Each structure stands twice: as structure tokens, then as C-alpha cells.
Amino acid sequence: MSEELYFIAGSPVMRRLRTQAEFLSQTDVPVLITGEPGSGKSTVARLIHSLSIRSSYPFIQVGCAMLTADLLETDLFGHNHPSSNGRQAAIPGKFEECARGTILLNDVEAIPDAVQRRLLKMLETEDVYRGESQNHIRADARIIAATSGDLGRALEESRIGQELFYRLSVVELRVPSLRERPDEIPVLLGHLMNRLSRRYGVPAPRFSGSLLDACQDYQWPGNLRELENFAKRFLAHGDEGAALQELHSYVSADTDRKIDGQVNAYPQSFGLYAVARHRPSASTTLQTSEHRSPLKLLVRNAKGEAERSAITNALEYTQWNRKAAARLLNVSYRAILYKIQQYGLTPEPLKAMTLASGANGRQAKKQFEAGCPEFRKCTI
């Protein structure tokens, strides 16, 4: 995610996070920031730094998983390099360069054992030793650690030392994923599009209500990084129809995974990567449709009919309570509305059934699934 992406608190959970960051900025205790990749951990760390008395001094990030043990040790603590005149030239490390500032250690669980020991010694003595030298300087940099993994498991598996773990995790801040704060998506998209349009000197396209709804239905497994990439592509091609088609297809794919019990099993390639590159032209689409394999057409029609039947049964089962039907099919309310419109469904004579709640509701759902074979084929 771009460092220019400011901290935006458009939901209660993010406003609470900002309040916590403001409070922590007034102290120097180590902070551990957790969250999914791309959720904005570095932005939260930068916010803490910018609100603190250290804000006029450097803010430096170090990717602990990107360097070998030797390179990471040299990068953090510096080293003495022989010069042409035979003397040792002092090469400062990040802790020296970050004097009186803040250093963010990303992927802290990836720090090798030897570097962990040196880091722990620095935290205990508050001194930085460059290389093998006994000369040291005072360490005056606030440390913020960040991880996308499970640091508790890393501790259990001895990938991080217990003493270092407790020193780095005095206070823990969790950054919620983008799917946990969908109400922020319109605000974030507006901010991103305004910033990108200024950078590239082009008019910012408008987001329709349908496109914003589709963006809020999508799960965004890549979080803010993926959202920013989507905004860049939309700025580049400006084709709302293509963007909507891609978003709806990913919402449907996400639902398939939920029905199969794989709620968070996103493939590595999952994302909006085909919006601009693989958008076919009208002539290509027509030609493809005319020469499409009859077997593929049969399969597609069968899936569509199964989907329509499953939605119809769910709506009748819940007496056309669309929110209850959405819960029954384990999809979003917006998704069910979109599918009702897509298939042109209208209320018919209602079955004398009511969707129960609690334990009775779970039993009713099992009965519905047993009596509706199309449910497992449903693609919404």
C-alpha cells in the first residue's frame, strides 16, 4: 500500500483504533501491530509516529523477512568497513540513522535467532554496538513491531524468543481487515481516486451506487493494497460495466467457497487483475458467443438454472424475507437483491413456512438444504 494513503477513520472500529494510536503516541512503550497483509499496519505505525514528539525525526521501515540473517544484522546495527587507507570506516545501521525517531520492524516473527539476540541486548542495555566493535552509541529510537502472522504460534514454535516477544508486545493494536469495515470503502475509494487523479493529471471518474455496492460486497482479500490497485485500473480504463462484471464474478466465487466451507481460502491470484487487461471487446464477445461449445453452454445454463431454483426456494421458504433468504444461502443482502433483479423473480403464493431462529433455525436450514438439491450448486 502506498505510503501516501492517509489514515482514514470512517467506521467506529477505525475511530477507536485512531484513539488508541493517539494515546500511544504520547508514550514510548513498544507497540505490536497485527493484521492481515495490506490492511494498513504501516499506516497506523506512521500515524503513531506523526502524532508523537518524535515526528520531526526519521520514520524508517525494515522488512525483516526480506533480508538474510547477515544482511538484516548489518542493516539494523551497522558495521565497520575497511577503507583504502587501512582504517575502519563506520557504516551506521538503521538504529543509528533513526536516532530520536521511530523504526518499524515488519514481519518481526521472521527475525533470525542471532539478530533476535542482538536486538534483545539492545533493548536491555539501550546501547547499539556496531558490528563486532565494543564501541557503542545510545539507542534512542522507538520500536514498533508489525506482523501479519500469528506471533503466539511463532512463540510456541520457538521462532521468536519469549523475552523478545514480551518486550515487543507491551501493547498490541489489531488493524481490522477491509471486509470488517465495508462502510469505509466509499470514503477510501473517493480519497484514492482524488489522489490518483491529481498525480496523473486526469479527471477522476465517478463511482455509481451500483459500483459502490459491488465494491462493498466484495471481500478484498488483498485489503487496501488490492483496493488501491482497483482504483488505479478503474482510473485507467473507466469502464464501469467491466468493473461491475468482475466484482460480481468474484462475489459469486467467494460464495462458492463459503458454501464449500472454505470461507477464507482465497487463491493467490484472487483479485481484480483482469478488469482492464482481459476485458473483451463487443465484437470479440459476439464471436465467442457464436462459437462457444454447446457443452459449455449446457453447463452454464444448468448452473444458472440451479442458482435460480435455489434462490426461488429460499425466498419461498422465508416468505420472501430477503434478508432471511440471504442468511439461509450465506450470501450478502446486496447479492440476493442483485440476483432477484438478474433473474426477474417476483413473489408467488407463499408457502406456509417461517424461518425460525436459534437452534430451530439451524434445524430449519438443514431441512431446507436436504429438500433443495440445487442449494449445493448455487453459485451466488
> What are the tens digits of pLDDT across the range 118-138?
999 888 888 887 766 666 678
* pLDDT at residue 243, as a whole number: 83
Residues 233 and 111 in one domain: no
Q: What's residue 362's pLDDT?
A: 52
- Answer yes or no: do 39 and 108 share one domain: yes
CB 343: neighbour CB atoms within 10 A? 15
**Does any domain span residue 36?**
yes
Q: String of b and e for 233-249 (b: at least 16 CB within 10 Å)?
A: bbbeeebbebbbebbbe
Pairing between β-strand 102-106 and β-strand 79-82 as defined by DSSP bridges: unpaired
Q: What domain range includes position 239?
A: 180-279
Quick one: 151 and 120 in the same domain? yes
Q: Does residue 23 sit in the same domain as residue 92?
A: yes
Secondary structure E strands in the chain: 31-34, 59-63, 79-82, 88-91, 102-106, 127-129, 136-138, 142-147, 171-174
| C-alpha dist (Å) from residue 260 to 224, 248, 263 | 26, 19, 8
Is residue 233 a part of any domain in this protein?
A: yes
Whether the predicted pLDDT of 62 surpasses 90? yes
* Contact residues for 297 (Cβ-Cβ < 8 A; gap 6+): none
Domain membership flag for residue 285: no
Which residues partner with 33 through β-bridges?
146, 173
Other C-beta atoms within 10 Å of 302: how many? 11
Domain CATH number, residue 198: 1.10.8.60
Same structural domain, 129 and 213: no
User: End of a domain among 118, 144, 176?
Assistant: 176
Among residues 328, 345, 331, which one has the least CA distance to residue 217? 331
Please indicate, yes or no, whether residues 170 and 188 belong to a single structural domain of this protein.
no
The verdict on 171 and 27 lying in the same domain is yes
Spatial separation of the C-alpha atoms in residues 21 and 48, rounded to whole Å: 5
Distance of CA 316 to the CA centre of its chain: 36
Residue 320 lies in a domain: yes
Tell me: do 195 and 274 sit in the same domain: yes
Band of residue 44 on the pLDDT scale cut at 50, 70, 90: very high
Domain annotation covers residue 63: yes
Q: Where a domain ends, among 244, 279, 314?
A: 279
The domain total for the chain is: 3
Query: Which has more confidence, 160 or 291?
Result: 160
Q: Has residue 316 been placed in a domain? A: yes
CATH number, domain with residue 123: 3.40.50.300
- Residue 305: inside a domain: yes
- Same-domain status, 26 and 167: yes
Q: How is residue 272 annotated by DSSP?
A: S
- For residues 240 and 265, state if they share a domain: yes
pLDDT digits (tens, 9 = 90+) for 63-96: 999 989 999 998 998 877 766 666 666 788 899 8
pLDDT band at 172 (very low <50, low <70, confident <90, very high): very high
Taking only the tens place, the pLDDT of each residue in 321-349 is 888 888 777 777 777 787 887 777 877 54
Q: Is the pLDDT of residue 317 over 70?
A: yes
Tens-place pLDDT, residues 145-164: 999 988 888 888 888 888 88
> What's residue 54's pLDDT?
94
Q: Is there a single domain that holds both residue 192 and residue 165?
A: no
Final residue in a domain of this structure, among 176, 202, 226:
176
Q: Indicate whether 78 and 141 sit together in one domain.
A: yes
Residue 327 belongs to some domain of the structure: yes
Q: What is the pLDDT of residue 280?
A: 34
